[in-house]
Amino acid sequence: MKKEDIEKAAVNYDSRAVPFRAFVAGAEWLLNQIWHKPDEVPDRSINDDGVGELCLIKTSLGVYEIADAMYDKKYHMYFFDTSLITFHLSQIECYAYINDLIPTKL
């Protein structure tokens, strides 16, 4: 989603200045809450094996992968995909938890 898309949707929502700005600010806030920088480790559930939630990661090469968030015994985070390729945080541009990307209501 681009800023132009948000602004077009805001005009359809309400073209008056205050509601328009509120709509745009809310959409931008949501996008910033979903996507995390690699050094940002939100408090999410971890099982006994150190496996966290399924994530969509964007690698530093610009490739998107679906991977599990993993934590070592010192709670350092890294990711591994279905082919067991490991991605360290230095290889990640950003990530989002799959559960945060799924709509709660259709």
pLDDT at 24 (0 to 100): 83
Instruction: State residue 73's pLDDT score.
Output: 58
Distance CA 103, CA 35 (A): 15
Residue 89 in domain: yes
In a domain, 40, yes or no: no
Question: Helices 17-34 and 3-13 meet at what angle, rounded to 10?
Answer: 140
Between these two residues, 3 and 94, which has the higher pLDDT value? 94
Same domain (yes/no): 63, 91 = yes
- The mean per-residue pLDDT over the stretch 71-98 comes to 75
Q: Is residue 45 part of a domain?
A: no
Residue 44: the pLDDT is 67
pTM above threshold 0.85: no
pLDDT per residue as tens digits for the range 33-82: 888 888 776 566 677 776 778 889 898 889 888 888 777 655 566 676 66
Looking at the predicted structure, is the pLDDT value of residue 90 above 70? Answer: yes
User: Taking 60 as the threshold, does the pLDDT of residue 9 lie above it?
Assistant: yes
Report if residue 80 sits inside a domain. yes
CA distance 52 to 46: 4
Same domain? 57 vs 94: yes
**In this structure, are 60 and 96 located in the same domain?**
yes
- Residue that has been written with the tokens 């690698």 in this structure: 59
Q: How confident is the model at residue 102 (pLDDT cuts 50, 70, 90)?
A: confident
Of 51 and 90, the one with more pLDDT:
90
Same domain, 60 and 86: yes
Structural domain tally of the chain?
Answer: 2
Query: 13 is in which domain, residue-wise?
Result: 3-34
